[in-house]
Amino acid sequence: MLINHQYKFLFIGLPFSASSAIHHQLHKDFNAIPRLRKHSLYHDFFKSANDKEKKYFVFAVLRNPMDIVISNYEKMKANEKGNFTNPDFFTENGGHINRKQREKFNFINDRSATFQDYFNKYFNKPYDNLASLTTQYCDFLIRYESISTDYLEVLKQIGIKDTLPLKVMNKTKGKKQVDITAYYTDDIKKKAIFVFGPFMRKYNYALPVSWGNVRISFFSRIFFKLISLFMRINQKYFKSYKNKIDRKGTVFGDIKNANKLS
Protein backbone atom coordinates (compact mmCIF):
# COMPACT_ATOMS: atom_id res chain seq x y z
CA MET A 1 0.00 0.00 0.00
CA LEU A 2 0.97 3.61 -0.53
CA ILE A 3 0.19 6.65 1.57
CA ASN A 4 0.39 10.37 0.79
CA HIS A 5 0.33 12.94 3.57
CA GLN A 6 0.00 16.00 1.32
CA TYR A 7 -3.25 14.87 -0.30
CA LYS A 8 -4.17 12.59 2.61
CA PHE A 9 -4.90 9.35 0.79
CA LEU A 10 -4.19 5.63 1.20
CA PHE A 11 -4.12 3.21 -1.72
CA ILE A 12 -4.68 -0.47 -0.91
CA GLY A 13 -3.15 -2.65 -3.61
CA LEU A 14 -5.21 -5.81 -3.95
CA PRO A 15 -3.59 -8.69 -5.89
CA PHE A 16 -4.34 -9.05 -9.62
CA SER A 17 -5.93 -5.62 -9.89
CA ALA A 18 -3.34 -3.43 -11.66
CA SER A 19 -1.86 -2.43 -8.30
CA SER A 20 1.66 -2.28 -9.77
CA ALA A 21 0.60 0.33 -12.34
CA ILE A 22 -1.14 2.47 -9.73
CA HIS A 23 1.68 2.10 -7.19
CA HIS A 24 4.15 3.23 -9.86
CA GLN A 25 2.10 6.21 -10.94
CA LEU A 26 1.14 7.43 -7.47
CA HIS A 27 4.78 7.30 -6.39
CA LYS A 28 6.12 8.89 -9.58
CA ASP A 29 3.55 11.68 -9.94
CA PHE A 30 2.65 12.46 -6.32
CA ASN A 31 5.51 11.02 -4.26
CA ALA A 32 3.24 8.61 -2.41
CA ILE A 33 5.37 6.49 -0.09
CA PRO A 34 5.20 2.78 0.86
CA ARG A 35 3.38 1.69 3.98
CA LEU A 36 3.82 -1.89 5.19
CA ARG A 37 3.71 -4.43 2.31
CA LYS A 38 2.45 -4.12 -1.26
CA HIS A 39 -0.74 -6.08 -0.51
CA SER A 40 -1.26 -5.12 3.13
CA LEU A 41 -4.89 -4.71 4.12
CA TYR A 42 -6.69 -1.95 5.96
CA HIS A 43 -6.72 -3.75 9.31
CA ASP A 44 -2.90 -3.95 9.08
CA PHE A 45 -2.73 -0.20 8.41
CA PHE A 46 -5.21 0.62 11.19
CA LYS A 47 -2.95 -0.94 13.84
CA SER A 48 -0.12 1.51 13.09
CA ALA A 49 -2.07 4.56 11.87
CA ASN A 50 -2.44 7.69 13.96
CA ASP A 51 -5.76 9.47 14.39
CA LYS A 52 -5.17 11.79 11.42
CA GLU A 53 -4.17 8.95 9.08
CA LYS A 54 -7.30 7.00 9.97
CA LYS A 55 -9.30 9.81 8.36
CA TYR A 56 -7.43 9.67 5.03
CA PHE A 57 -9.24 8.99 1.76
CA VAL A 58 -8.99 5.25 1.05
CA PHE A 59 -9.30 3.60 -2.36
CA ALA A 60 -8.60 0.28 -4.06
CA VAL A 61 -9.32 -1.55 -7.31
CA LEU A 62 -12.04 -4.17 -7.71
CA ARG A 63 -11.84 -6.65 -10.59
CA ASN A 64 -14.21 -9.23 -12.06
CA PRO A 65 -13.12 -12.56 -10.50
CA MET A 66 -13.88 -14.48 -13.71
CA ASP A 67 -11.27 -12.30 -15.41
CA ILE A 68 -8.80 -12.74 -12.52
CA VAL A 69 -8.94 -16.52 -12.87
CA ILE A 70 -8.36 -16.28 -16.63
CA SER A 71 -5.43 -13.89 -16.08
CA ASN A 72 -3.83 -16.19 -13.50
CA TYR A 73 -4.16 -19.17 -15.82
CA GLU A 74 -2.50 -17.26 -18.67
CA LYS A 75 0.30 -16.02 -16.40
CA MET A 76 1.08 -19.56 -15.24
CA LYS A 77 0.84 -20.91 -18.76
CA ALA A 78 3.27 -18.31 -20.15
CA ASN A 79 5.56 -17.92 -17.10
CA GLU A 80 6.89 -14.88 -18.95
CA LYS A 81 9.09 -13.57 -16.13
CA GLY A 82 10.04 -17.02 -14.85
CA ASN A 83 8.51 -16.28 -11.43
CA PHE A 84 6.96 -19.74 -11.08
CA THR A 85 10.30 -21.48 -11.56
CA ASN A 86 12.60 -19.03 -9.76
CA PRO A 87 13.22 -20.09 -6.12
CA ASP A 88 13.93 -16.46 -5.19
CA PHE A 89 10.20 -15.77 -5.59
CA PHE A 90 8.97 -18.76 -3.54
CA THR A 91 7.23 -17.92 -0.25
CA GLU A 92 9.66 -20.01 1.80
CA ASN A 93 12.41 -17.69 0.50
CA GLY A 94 10.50 -14.48 1.17
CA GLY A 95 8.74 -14.29 -2.20
CA HIS A 96 5.10 -14.41 -3.26
CA ILE A 97 4.78 -17.71 -5.17
CA ASN A 98 3.41 -20.33 -2.79
CA ARG A 99 3.40 -24.12 -3.10
CA LYS A 100 -0.21 -24.22 -4.27
CA GLN A 101 0.56 -21.82 -7.10
CA ARG A 102 3.52 -23.95 -8.14
CA GLU A 103 1.32 -27.02 -8.10
CA LYS A 104 -1.13 -25.27 -10.42
CA PHE A 105 1.73 -24.13 -12.66
CA ASN A 106 3.02 -27.69 -12.95
CA PHE A 107 -0.45 -29.04 -13.66
CA ILE A 108 -0.99 -26.57 -16.50
CA ASN A 109 2.42 -26.98 -18.11
CA ASP A 110 3.16 -30.66 -17.51
CA ARG A 111 -0.22 -31.71 -18.87
CA SER A 112 -0.80 -28.90 -21.37
CA ALA A 113 -4.03 -28.36 -19.43
CA THR A 114 -6.79 -26.31 -20.99
CA PHE A 115 -8.49 -23.58 -19.00
CA GLN A 116 -11.46 -25.92 -18.53
CA ASP A 117 -9.16 -28.64 -17.12
CA TYR A 118 -7.60 -26.12 -14.75
CA PHE A 119 -10.94 -24.71 -13.63
CA ASN A 120 -12.48 -28.13 -13.00
CA LYS A 121 -9.54 -29.25 -10.88
CA TYR A 122 -8.98 -26.20 -8.71
CA PHE A 123 -12.33 -24.40 -8.37
CA ASN A 124 -14.81 -26.39 -6.34
CA LYS A 125 -16.22 -23.85 -3.89
CA PRO A 126 -17.52 -20.27 -4.06
CA TYR A 127 -14.82 -17.75 -4.94
CA ASP A 128 -13.81 -14.92 -2.64
CA ASN A 129 -10.71 -12.76 -2.32
CA LEU A 130 -9.21 -9.96 -0.23
CA ALA A 131 -11.69 -7.45 -1.61
CA SER A 132 -14.10 -8.74 1.04
CA LEU A 133 -11.71 -7.44 3.71
CA THR A 134 -11.17 -4.11 1.96
CA THR A 135 -14.17 -2.59 0.21
CA GLN A 136 -16.04 -1.63 3.39
CA TYR A 137 -13.19 0.73 4.31
CA CYS A 138 -12.92 2.40 0.90
CA ASP A 139 -14.17 5.87 0.04
CA PHE A 140 -13.87 4.99 -3.65
CA LEU A 141 -13.63 1.73 -5.55
CA ILE A 142 -11.93 1.83 -8.93
CA ARG A 143 -13.41 -0.76 -11.26
CA TYR A 144 -10.68 -2.56 -13.19
CA GLU A 145 -12.97 -2.63 -16.21
CA SER A 146 -13.01 1.20 -16.29
CA ILE A 147 -9.67 1.74 -14.58
CA SER A 148 -8.47 4.68 -16.71
CA THR A 149 -11.52 6.87 -16.11
CA ASP A 150 -12.00 5.76 -12.51
CA TYR A 151 -8.36 6.51 -11.71
CA LEU A 152 -8.76 10.08 -12.90
CA GLU A 153 -12.03 10.38 -10.99
CA VAL A 154 -10.48 9.26 -7.71
CA LEU A 155 -7.67 11.79 -8.12
CA LYS A 156 -10.26 14.46 -8.77
CA GLN A 157 -12.07 13.53 -5.56
CA ILE A 158 -8.80 13.68 -3.63
CA GLY A 159 -8.25 17.19 -4.98
CA ILE A 160 -5.47 16.54 -7.47
CA LYS A 161 -5.58 18.52 -10.71
CA ASP A 162 -3.62 18.33 -13.98
CA THR A 163 -3.19 14.55 -13.78
CA LEU A 164 -1.65 12.20 -16.31
CA PRO A 165 -3.50 9.09 -17.55
CA LEU A 166 -2.66 5.74 -15.99
CA LYS A 167 -0.06 3.66 -17.82
CA VAL A 168 -0.71 -0.09 -18.00
CA MET A 169 1.97 -2.39 -16.54
CA ASN A 170 2.40 -6.16 -16.10
CA LYS A 171 -0.05 -6.95 -18.89
CA THR A 172 -0.58 -10.71 -19.18
CA LYS A 173 1.17 -12.21 -22.18
CA GLY A 174 -1.19 -14.05 -24.50
CA LYS A 175 -4.32 -12.58 -22.97
CA LYS A 176 -6.39 -10.56 -25.43
CA GLN A 177 -9.79 -8.96 -25.29
CA VAL A 178 -11.97 -11.99 -25.85
CA ASP A 179 -15.46 -13.12 -25.08
CA ILE A 180 -15.29 -14.49 -21.55
CA THR A 181 -17.37 -17.46 -22.68
CA ALA A 182 -14.42 -18.57 -24.82
CA TYR A 183 -12.93 -19.68 -21.49
CA TYR A 184 -16.10 -20.45 -19.52
CA THR A 185 -17.56 -22.83 -22.06
CA ASP A 186 -20.90 -24.62 -21.75
CA ASP A 187 -19.34 -27.67 -20.10
CA ILE A 188 -18.21 -25.61 -17.07
CA LYS A 189 -20.98 -22.99 -17.13
CA LYS A 190 -22.99 -24.53 -14.28
CA LYS A 191 -19.92 -24.82 -12.10
CA ALA A 192 -18.84 -21.25 -12.90
CA ILE A 193 -22.22 -19.97 -11.70
CA PHE A 194 -21.80 -21.89 -8.43
CA VAL A 195 -18.23 -20.62 -7.98
CA PHE A 196 -18.61 -16.96 -8.99
CA GLY A 197 -22.31 -16.24 -8.55
CA PRO A 198 -22.27 -14.97 -4.93
CA PHE A 199 -19.22 -12.72 -5.45
CA MET A 200 -20.65 -11.32 -8.69
CA ARG A 201 -23.96 -10.57 -7.03
CA LYS A 202 -22.33 -8.95 -3.97
CA TYR A 203 -20.29 -6.54 -6.11
CA ASN A 204 -22.82 -5.96 -8.90
CA TYR A 205 -20.94 -7.81 -11.62
CA ALA A 206 -22.95 -9.40 -14.40
CA LEU A 207 -22.50 -12.97 -15.53
CA PRO A 208 -22.27 -13.39 -19.33
CA VAL A 209 -25.41 -12.08 -21.03
CA SER A 210 -25.56 -15.16 -23.26
CA TRP A 211 -26.17 -17.28 -20.15
CA GLY A 212 -29.59 -15.71 -19.77
CA ASN A 213 -31.37 -15.51 -16.41
CA VAL A 214 -29.12 -17.24 -13.91
CA ARG A 215 -30.17 -18.62 -10.54
CA ILE A 216 -27.52 -18.60 -7.80
CA SER A 217 -28.23 -21.44 -5.39
CA PHE A 218 -28.95 -20.86 -1.71
CA PHE A 219 -26.20 -23.34 -0.82
CA SER A 220 -23.65 -21.39 -2.87
CA ARG A 221 -24.60 -18.12 -1.17
CA ILE A 222 -24.37 -19.60 2.35
CA PHE A 223 -21.11 -21.36 1.53
CA PHE A 224 -19.71 -18.05 0.23
CA LYS A 225 -20.56 -16.28 3.51
CA LEU A 226 -18.84 -19.00 5.54
CA ILE A 227 -15.72 -18.79 3.37
CA SER A 228 -15.68 -15.01 3.76
CA LEU A 229 -15.95 -15.34 7.53
CA PHE A 230 -13.15 -17.91 7.70
CA MET A 231 -10.93 -15.74 5.50
CA ARG A 232 -11.55 -12.70 7.68
CA ILE A 233 -10.61 -14.58 10.86
CA ASN A 234 -7.55 -16.16 9.23
CA GLN A 235 -6.23 -12.87 7.80
CA LYS A 236 -6.77 -10.88 10.98
CA TYR A 237 -5.57 -13.33 13.59
CA PHE A 238 -3.45 -16.09 12.05
CA LYS A 239 -1.88 -15.01 8.75
CA SER A 240 1.77 -14.06 9.04
CA TYR A 241 3.95 -12.16 6.54
CA LYS A 242 7.12 -11.93 8.63
CA ASN A 243 9.29 -13.51 5.92
CA LYS A 244 7.85 -11.52 3.03
CA ILE A 245 10.44 -9.51 1.09
CA ASP A 246 9.69 -6.64 -1.30
CA ARG A 247 12.38 -7.52 -3.81
CA LYS A 248 14.50 -5.24 -5.95
CA GLY A 249 13.31 -5.42 -9.54
CA THR A 250 9.63 -5.43 -8.60
CA VAL A 251 7.62 -2.21 -8.80
CA PHE A 252 6.85 -1.99 -5.10
CA GLY A 253 10.29 -3.24 -4.07
CA ASP A 254 11.99 -0.55 -6.16
CA ILE A 255 9.69 2.13 -4.72
CA LYS A 256 10.50 0.97 -1.20
CA ASN A 257 14.24 0.92 -1.85
CA ALA A 258 14.14 4.35 -3.52
CA ASN A 259 12.27 5.75 -0.53
CA LYS A 260 14.91 4.39 1.87
CA LEU A 261 17.66 6.07 -0.12
CA SER A 262 15.93 9.45 -0.33
On the question of pLDDT at 248 being above 90, the answer is no
For the chain, the structural domain boundaries read 2-241
Average pLDDT over residues 30-35: 91
pTM, full prediction? 0.86
Compute φ and ψ for 10, nearest 5 degrees. Answer: -130, 125
Residue type, 56: Y
Residue 5 has pLDDT above 80, yes or no: yes
121-178 pLDDT, tens digit per residue, is 999 999 999 999 999 999 999 999 999 999 999 999 999 887 778 876 655 554 456 6
